[in-house]
Structure 1
Amino acid sequence: MKTATFAQNLLSMQTELRHFAYKLTADRDDADDLLQETSLKALDNQEKYVAETNFKGWIYTIMRNIFINNYRKALRDQTYVDYTDNLHFLNLSVDLADDSMETSYDSKEIRKVVNALPKEFRVPFAMYVAGFKYREIADKLALPLGTVKSRIHFTRRKLREELKDFK
């Protein structure tokens, strides 16, 4: 694909890409940054694009991968390693007791609601939360894919209703 055609295709997708970036980030400034980073990466890697393939899919994949990489980097940056000999920073007494009690209470409340669900809803939901994909859950439980999806959807809706007071 020629440079002019590539750039024109990229420019024509800016509005769609901005919407997708906003869906990923839920923040206008972050979405604009993600859009800019995606556009630059696409232009830098223009020679890797294979003509006659799905241009839109290629760009969306770049954006999604940048978002995931930025998210993982942000998680790594939040991790603190205490290099002091006596673990001074880790042993600081900070008012974490209130937070941990609140978090513990919230977890118990959530578990109580989930455990109150019938087994046919609880098991697929637990597998979904554990990271299984819909297809894997359907295969392991010998259920149709649509049944698994509807049960997980029902469970999520039920949790939303029961736990609406939680933030």
Structure 2
Amino acid sequence: MADKKFNEMLVDNADFLKPFAVNLTKDTETANDLYQETLYKALANHEKYNSGTNIKAWLFTIMRNIFINDYRRKAKRKTIFDNTAEDYLINMKQVSVANGAESSIREKEIKQAINELPEIFKTPFMLYFEGYKYQEIAEYLHEPLGTIKSRIHFARKLLKEQLHRFA
């Protein structure tokens, strides 16, 4: 499709995006950012648009995907935005205070529960816990990958049953 024809179609259908952006974000400024980013992505990826298809649906899909990806990214950050005039950022991890005594008791109980696991489950679980990947553990123990995965799964299940207070 020619760039000029695509640009005309984009301009003709762009006004329908604004209410959708406001509906998604519930905030005018964020909606404007989402609207602009959607138009940018549409222009940057215009070669992916199949002429003859519904351009509104294509644009709505782009906008929805941008919104979902931004939401997921913000949820992973675990940061709260305080919309007061000062715009403070509060990190969730700094709010809680650890109880050292309780943590050491839990750690002892967890270590004891791990040591009580049958050796067939304990070895792959400890290797996985130390950061080895499933494939590396399977090669090291000369076992099939599926066997290693199931043993680690059963080890977790046994630990969860033993430590039901912390599950």
Calculate the TM-score normalised by the size of structure 1.
Answer: 0.48
- Who wins on radius of gyration, i.e. which is larger? 2
Calculate the TM-score normalised by the size of structure 2.
Answer: 0.48
